[in-house]
Chains A and B, each alone.
Chain A
Amino acid sequence: MLTLETLHIDLDGFTLDADFSVETGRRVAVLGPSGAGKSTLLAAIAGFQPVSGRVLWDETDLTPLPPAQRPVTMIFQDNNLFPHLTAAQNVGLGLRPDLRLSRDDKARVDEALTRVGLGGLGTRKPAALSGGQAARVALARAVLRHKPVMLLDEPFGALGPALRDEMLGLVRTLADEVGATLLMVSHEPEDAKAIAHEVVLVADGRAHAPVPTAEIFANPPAALRDYLGREG
């Protein structure tokens, strides 16, 4: 269970508070107007953002841990791949940050690439991959890292609708396989409906406790109605 305990973030006058838990294995969409602090919330969980209060995984306090030691893997909006490394090397970083990969490690990298549908493309560099393929490489690495919490910060924002649905389906399958707890920032309500059990609404300086997806769209609170506009 991921717990945010009286979490408070202060960024030069911009503040964000959160105080809730997410059950293990749940897929959660983080929705809200732009600039409300969705990405900041994920950064705090991942360890990139100094906070007061605590971030807990089960009984363990993550707050003092640097990002790499948290049971968390994150996929960013962009710059998920190092352009000077091949797809396989980019995935391999998930096993060993110094890239001293054993034969066994390399086999696991190939397997992960095949798993996301990129078998045989390991030697390509990111410049030779399409946007969707690059997103798959990032997913392969996340799977290989095998961390119980997966954070996705609008990772498919630059993809077209069809490709986006395809990637969401893949995320859903992979997260289920690993049994990961997933938090995904999006500004597309459709994304939430597609894969999320629950929705965390970030608005007015507060990340609200998760509400079941069907429920929140059936009866949207004021902040969500404003955000959804006509659609609400």
Chain B
Amino acid sequence: MARGLFSVTRTTGAGATALALVLFLALGTLVAVALRAEGAGAFTVADLAALRFTLVQATLSAALSIALAIPVGRALARRSFPGRGVLVMLLGAPFILPVIVAVFGLISVFGRSGLVSQALLALGLEPISIYGFHGVVLAHVFFNLPLATRLVLQGWLAIPAERFRLAASLGFTARDIARQLERPMLREVLPGAFLVIFLLCLTSFAVALALGGGPRATTIELAIYQAFRLDFDLGKAALLALVQFALGAAVALIALRVALPPGFGAGLDRAVSRWDANTPMLRALDAALITLATLFLVLPMTMIAVDGLPALATLPASVFTATARSLGVALASVILTLALALPIAAWSVKSGSRLVEGVGTLTIAASPLVIGTGLFIILFPITDPFALALPVTALVNAVMSLPFALRALVPALGQVEADFGRLADGLGMTGTARLRHLWLPRLARPLGFTAGLSAALSMGDLGVIALFASPDAPTLPLQIYRLLSAYRMDDAAGAALILLVTSLALFWVFDKGGRVNADA
């Protein structure tokens, strides 16, 4: 079409610049890492153990999340009850929930002095511990069961209602429906869902940092961090970073061959009418499943409020300065995310090339720890990397938000150009006029959503900052981690509550901001 004919060169220029920066961060840092890794010694037994632990925990976490998501998703798909909409919305919350906050909540429920242990003690049984292998898996299931449930639920609701009516008129039993309708759907949905969760668990650093550790529960990323912070062995850190990248790239390559599920499904607010599942047994089963899943999700969050509220009054001032620091990082990260995503999206739409978007999405497989290690190696000879901790964190967080930003912006911008591109071309709206009077107003919603997402993700990030931060300038998540490590549980609870509220509020404010004054 004519879009390619009169492509605006400024769009191409800005898009190429943004993309080059992303490529530099995702791959350029890798070159720095590879060069540095040459001098490093061979793999040690501990490194192999870390590799094995990483793969085993990711596999088990993904498998468990999916296995539990199937019955819960089915229950949600075939029951409608008051509060169902809220529950489905809650299933999206862990995505923007700061990891360290969730970890705190899980400790309050499943830790040695948590609710479950106290109940066990009351029954005369041994208390359970949350640290180590099963703690890491538990936290990963907590984060990914909701995601898996949403994906599975989406699959169920994508089955046309007519099929279920047809099945009912043909007298299908629940078993027939499972065989003819549900299993084919699950075969389509599950591989993609498994891969996404596997990838998320592969690159989840903060959970391993807070709950793992020791020879039997160290992931590769945690090993990078330890080589870095404890031994200051850059060669070892670089070698491990290469391994981590190889893992991520391998999974991403497999993922390219499997249809990945779309990120944020809309329209999950209805239930399918089913005629086969109206037996008392099945109703009780579904009710139990939904209750258990809700408790699993809501209890840790409630505990943060319960433990955190009384602690608020006595919080040390350092928590508030850390909050201010985190807010600064989050806002800078929002600006950087939009400054990167909008040009790349524009170039992608103008050139009609999926490649541009694909390269932007590359970062989903990249690990912030690897990028951080590379940046450190590059910056170290030039300047003091620790002094740049906050800007680097904001930048890396922005790059990590990019895949989600592009997924929201590219289709929306494509639609805007399809609807109004010719009109704008005909009127000569180019450059800033097009940006100000067409793109920004028409993209307000996805831009608000993107800004909210990147603000919340950056606010709660506990990744690169752990590598770079100097002891006297932590962000809020890092401060909470330090309080937890020092067993100052009351202060940690108060700080976790502040972080939880700030992250959710940031998302809400930006997302809402994009909806204000929206014209049809």
Interface residues of A (CB under 8 A from B): 43, 46-50, 66-69, 72-74, 76, 79-80, 82-85, 89, 93-94, 97-99, 125-127
Contact = CB atoms under 8 A, between A and B. Distances in A.
Contacts of A84: 441-442, 519
Given A79-B419, A82-B420, A98-B433, A125 B519 contact: yes
Contact of B437 (A69, A73, A93): A93
9 contacts: A67-B2, A82-B442, A83-B520, A94-B427, A97-B429, A98-B436, A99-B437, A125-B519, A127-B520
Contacts of B426: 46, 48, 67-68, 72-74
Contact of A48 (B422, B428, B438): B422
A98 B423 contact: no
Nearest to B429: A97
Contact of A82 (B5, B422, B428, B437): B437
Contacts of A50: 2, 5
Contacts of A67: 2, 6, 422, 425-426, 428
Nearest to A48: B2
Contacts of B433: 97-99
Contacts of A85: 437, 441
Q: Which 5 A-B pairs have the closest CB atoms?
A: A68-B428, A84-B441, A98-B433, A97-B429, A66-B6
A136 B71 CA distance: 56
B118 interface: no
B113 interface: no
B425 A83 contact: no
A49 B422 contact: no
A68 B427 contact: yes
Contacts of B5: 50, 66
Contacts of B422: 43, 46, 48, 67, 74, 76
B432 interface: yes
Contacts of B436: 98
A214 B436 CA distance: 48
Nearest to B517: A84
Contacts of A79: 419-420, 423
B430 interface: yes
B519 A83 contact: yes
A46 B424 CA distance: 13
The B interface is mostly helix, strand or loop, or mixed, namely helix
B423 A76 contact: yes
Contacts of B428: 67-69, 97
Interface residues of B, number: 25
Between B419, B420, B427, B442, the greatest number of chain A beta carbons within 10 A of the residue's beta carbon is seen for B427
A43 B422 CA distance: 9
Nearest to B441: A84
Nearest to B437: A99
A99 B2 CA distance: 25
Contacts of A69: 428
Interface of B: 1-2, 5-6, 419-420, 422-430, 432-434, 436-438, 441-442, 519-520
B277 to A, nearest CB: 43
Contacts of B437: 82, 85, 89, 93, 97-99
A139 B420 CA distance: 17
Nearest to B4: A50
A47 B438 CA distance: 20
Contacts of B6: 66-67
Contact of B425 (A68, A82, A125): A68
A165 to B, nearest CB: 26
A77 to B, nearest CB: 11
Contacts of A83: 519-520
A127 B423 contact: no
Contacts of B427: 68, 93-94, 97
Contacts of B423: 76, 79-80, 82
A43 B430 CA distance: 19
Given A68-B427, A69-B428, A79-B420, A49 B519 contact: no
A49 B3 CA distance: 9
Nearest to B432: A98
Contacts of A76: 422-423
B448 to A, nearest CB: 14
Contact of B429 (A46, A49, A93): A93
B274 to A, nearest CB: 39
A118 B63 CA distance: 64
Given A66-B425, A67-B422, 10 more contacts: A48-B2, A50-B5, A67-B2, A67-B6, A68-B425, A68-B426, A98-B429, A99-B437, A125-B519, A126-B519
A187 to B, nearest CB: 21
A49 B432 contact: no
A97 B427 CA distance: 6
Contacts of B425: 47-48, 66-68
A69 B427 CA distance: 9
Contacts of A99: 433, 437
Between B6, B423, B425, B429, the greatest number of chain A beta carbons within 10 A of the residue's beta carbon is seen for B423
A153 B252 CA distance: 46
Contacts of A74: 422, 426
A43 to B, nearest CB: 8
A178 B438 CA distance: 29
Contacts of B441: 82, 84-85
Nearest to A46: B426
Nearest to B431: A98
Contacts of B1: 48-49
B420 A47 contact: no
A218 to B, nearest CB: 36
A112 to B, nearest CB: 15
Nearest to A11: B1
Contacts of A80: 423
Nearest to A80: B423
A80 B424 CA distance: 10
Between B1, B2, B433, B442, the greatest number of chain A beta carbons within 10 A of the residue's beta carbon is seen for B2
B519 A127 contact: yes
Between A72, A73, A84, A126, the greatest number of chain B beta carbons within 10 A of the residue's beta carbon is seen for A84
Nearest to A96: B433
A180 to B, nearest CB: 15
A165 B448 CA distance: 44
A193 to B, nearest CB: 29
Contacts of A43: 2, 422
B276 to A, nearest CB: 44
B3 to A, nearest CB: 9
A82 B438 contact: yes
A49 to B, nearest CB: 6
A96 to B, nearest CB: 8
